[in-house]
A and B are shown apart, each in its own frame.
Chain A
Amino acid sequence: DAGVIQSPRHEVTEMGQEVTLRCKPISGHDYLFWYRQTMMRGLELLIYFNNNVPIDDSGMPEDRFSAKMPNASFSTLKIQPSEPRDSAVYFCASSPIRDSLNEKLFFGSGTQLSVL
């Protein structure tokens, strides 16, 4: 398996523009997570899905952020409008069915977002 695939690897945009980050989880994984990483706040959970359904979006900073998972093999994280403070590395991770034996997260390589 190729692992979790994120695109783009790098995104540079201007304040006010819409940004869409994409993620393809590992096939067969039931859970998908979006994290944001900054030096100030470390790794923050934004939202996670189980079987394509959003379970907890309490980490989404504000209404400018939205996430969708239209099918088991694809998810998007959208920021509209983007602001300089959104600059960060955004990670997608997936996990198999979560029981007492399977709790590891598998991370993608991330999208480095710079909002100018």
Chain B
Amino acid sequence: GESVGLHLPTLSVQEGDNSIINCAYSNSASDYFIWYKQESGKGPQFIIDIRSNMDKRQGQRVTVLLNKTVKHLSLQIAATQPGDSAVYFCAESRSGGSYIPTFGRGTSLIVHP
């Protein structure tokens, strides 16, 4: 989930487990959501996105679930690998080009071999 403190929420998992990273968004008008992955020393990289007309979208080893009723987003990573260790950000936006994504604080995922 999101954090307002100094430390990022952290999820520790064993290699091979499934990981679930949660995100609560704030704007009911948001209709486009994106997950980014940020590895140490690098900029955020796009993972997967979903629009509000969908509840679920799958990529390679990743699935994003959207619950508009409670304004909740989750990222599921199957068979987590050490290379998945990173900070994961959700971002909310609105379609149409004039809206710029607002990023959450991020969740740190640590994968133990």
Interface on chain B toward A: helix, strand, loop, or mixed SS?
loop
A91 — which chain B residues lie within 8 A by C-beta? 43-44
Residues 91 to 110 of chain A near chain B (Cβ within 8 Å): 91, 93, 97-100, 103-110
Tell me the complex Cα distance, A105–B37, Å.
Answer: 12
Q: How large is the interface on B (under 10, 10 to 19, 20 to 34, 35 or more residues)?
A: 20 to 34
Please tell me if the beta carbons of A99 and B89 are within 8 angstroms of each other in the complex: no
Is A39 on the interface with B (CB-CB < 8 A)?
A: yes
> Quick one: given A103-B93, A105-B46, A109-B43, are A48 and B34 in contact (CB under 8 Å)?
no
Q: Is the CB of B43 within 8 A of A103?
A: no
Which of the four size classes fits the interface of chain A? 20 to 34
Interface residues of B in 28-63 (CB under 8 A from A): 32, 34, 41-46, 49
Shortest Cβ-Cβ A-B pairs, 4 listed = A107-B43, A98-B97, A43-B103, A42-B105
B residues with CB within 8 A of A: 6-8, 32, 34, 41-46, 49, 89, 93, 95-98, 100-106
Tell me the A residues contacting B by CB distance below 8 Å: 4, 33, 39-40, 42-43, 45, 48, 56, 91, 93, 97-100, 103-110
